[in-house]
Amino acid sequence: MPNNHAIRRIYWLHALTPTHAGVGRGLGYIDLPIDREKVTNWPIIRGSAFKGVLADYFGATDERRKKDELLRAAFGVTGAEEESNSGSLVPTDARLVCLPIRSFRGTFAWCTSPLALTVLRRMLQLAGVAHLPDAPTPLEETKAHHPKSSALVESKKVYLEELDFDGVECPVAQSWAEKIAAWVFGSSQEWQQHFQKRFAIVPDVAFDYFCQTGTEVHTRVRINDETKTVVEGALWTEESLPAETLLAGVIQCERVFQQNGKSQNSIEPARLMDHFAKEELVLQIGGKATVGRGQMRCVFVSV
């Protein structure tokens, strides 16, 4: 995001159902794992996948792109060199911010970590977002920070899955809870309150552990129509991001391309951004749509 003249917006993805953004056949015990970052091993949704889903939402077929100048400018057209152009909407990968984890109190917690928030803060700063909360400091492995009036605390303890932490009320956690709630649930005061009551910052090592063990793994089978039994060899496992997962990325438009890579002056970048990245959307991301996977809210936040 080096160009200060580019038009940018933050996009938030909120999983409404388990989401399988996969990478094909895996080598481990999970047959169909989800995509993960190489360095952190945190779940991720690639910018290329998001852009394809956004194009599909707006009906940007090859035929329609050739007839509609906005679709052609936003998502590009393939063909002969003199007839093709690059798409001008450029999304980054959507990186994990909060993972929902089962809690003894409050049902579940939206968990993040000091490192995850620091990475988010850097991304937001580079995108031009002002007045951000301070970056959280590293936590002791026995402590979890939470906002005031948390629904997760029982006798000053926070119990997440099989781990327990000393709950510490923290103004930085309060500030981040308020900010993220406003960005993701800005249209609902009730959901902003739900989020703030269930927000928790856990140590980095615990967050890494939850990212490994906190996803959903479903066992699937294929039934023989005649015998009504499992077809031999047709049993497999699929991994999904759980419902309520939150991820964030940046979408930007620096200039609008026309054929031969030249800039197209008849369409302003701001016009493209207002048309395709303004309203809240419900997108189908990843596979397994026919069994209810991949329904995600997409919320665009102006910079």
pLDDT tens-place string over residues 240-287: 999 999 999 999 998 887 665 555 557 889 999 999 999 899 999 998
Q: What mean pLDDT comes out for the span 54-72?
A: 91
Dist CA 164 CA 154 (whole Å) = 10
pTM of the model: 0.92
Q: How confident is the model at residue 8 (pLDDT cuts 50, 70, 90)?
A: very high
> What is the rounded (10 degree) CA torsion for 36, 99, 57, 191?
-170
Q: What is the pLDDT of residues 115-137, one digit of tens each?
A: 999 999 999 999 999 999 999 99
Q: How confident is the model at residue 238 (pLDDT cuts 50, 70, 90)?
A: very high
Question: Which residues make Cβ contacts (< 8 Å) with residue 116, sequence separation at least 6?
Answer: 42, 96, 97, 207
| Both tokens assigned to 229 | 């039994």
The pLDDT assigned to 262 comes to 57
Q: What is the pLDDT of residues 64-118, one digit of tens each?
A: 988 898 999 999 887 766 667 888 999 999 999 999 999 999 999 999 999 999 9
Q: Bridge-partner residues for 289, per DSSP?
A: none
pLDDT of 186 above 60 = yes
More confident residue, 3 or 292: 292
The pLDDT assigned to 82 comes to 65
Q: What mean pLDDT comes out for the span 24-34?
A: 84
Q: How confident is the model at residue 2 (pLDDT cuts 50, 70, 90)?
A: low
